[in-house]
Amino acid sequence: MRAWSSMIIMRSSVPRPRTELAMKFAVIQFPGSNCDQDCVAAINGLDGLRAEYVWHKETSLDYFDAIVLPGGFAYGDYLRCGAIARFSPIMTAVVSDARAGKLVLGTCNGFQILCEAGLLPGALVRNRSLHFVCDTVTTRVEVDDSPFTHGCPKGTLFRLPIAHGEGCFFADAATLRELNANHQVILRYADSNGYVVTEANPNGSIENIAGICNRQGNVFGLMPHPDRASDARLGSVDGAKIFKSMVETITANRATRGGVSILPIPQKDRLPADATAPVA
């Protein structure tokens, strides 16, 4: 049984200022984020969900069931994509909550930030072409029982937009072996027939990797934008499947724990939130 199949959800003694049936997603806003509105719109378009913006200088995410780090150019991508954003005050809460089991999704720049913060292994570097790539690509589901791919059999194809200059995923040989052995590669770039081929790789990512999760399975980063593929008017609703899977995961956890949501967890019960310590 994989690690995420038995995720432990902790009960909180802190009063919740909302009904237990409501699900709230935090969409983090960094200086330079530009897909935060897309994420909020996509999430709010799903029944039973409510997304709220959380400014990067906030220090708590206690009353949210899930966290989304959106795409964009946080801090102008100075130094390196995500290298400055990882030190934003809110990242202490992101790291702490991720360790506690809360679902965390990072899209595009959000994926880069998660890697810089040590929540995911590997790194995102310049595209193989050295050019910014804006296109719609096909990705193939590699893991069908993750918190982000419920109801999506292995081999399911997602049509998702991409827009990035530093989306080439790289990891050393040892890390790559671990990712594959632990079923952490959630999505790979594929052609329209589902074959993982070089021609389908838009940025040179090693082994056509489009998205990975951490060892525990609750943190997922991908370069494509599910938020931009959650409305039929945009040409694809495949991205909504990822958000809906998160809802199913949270709902299942609530049922297991008698209707109690994933967080908040009292501060005294939390692990030290040293953003430099990887949990991948």
Q: Which helix (H) or strand (E) holds 219?
A: strand 219-222
pLDDT of amino acid 255: 82
Q: Is residue 276, in this structure, part of any structural domain at all? A: no
pLDDT band at 3 (very low <50, low <70, confident <90, very high): very low
Q: Is residue 2, in this structure, part of any structural domain at all? A: no
- For residues 129-149, average pLDDT: 97
CA distance 38 to 217: 24
Q: Identify which has the larger pLDDT, 56 or 21.
A: 56
pLDDT at 22 over 90: no
Q: What percent of the chain has pLDDT over 70?
A: 84
pLDDT band at 21 (very low <50, low <70, confident <90, very high): low
**Could you report the per-residue pLDDT of 62-85, keeping only the tens digit for each?**
999 999 999 999 999 888 899 999
Q: Is residue 4, in this structure, part of any structural domain at all? A: no
- Bridge partners for 104 per DSSP: 67, 219
CB 110, CB 71: distance < 8 Å = yes
Which two three-digit tokens encode residue 216?
């525990």
Q: Is residue 10, in this structure, part of any structural domain at all? A: no
Q: Is residue 15, in this structure, part of any structural domain at all? A: no
How many domains in the chain? 1
CB 158, CB 238: distance < 8 Å = yes
Q: Is residue 107, in this structure, part of any structural domain at all? A: yes
CATH number assigned to the domain comprising residue 170: 3.40.50.880
Q: Is residue 6, in this structure, part of any structural domain at all? A: no
- pTM (2 d.p.): 0.85
pLDDT at 14 over 50: no
Dihedral sign of CA atoms 164, 165, 166, 167 in order:
positive
Question: Under DSSP, is residue 74 helix (H, G, I), strand (E, B) or coil?
Answer: helix
| Structural domain span for residue 113 | 22-267
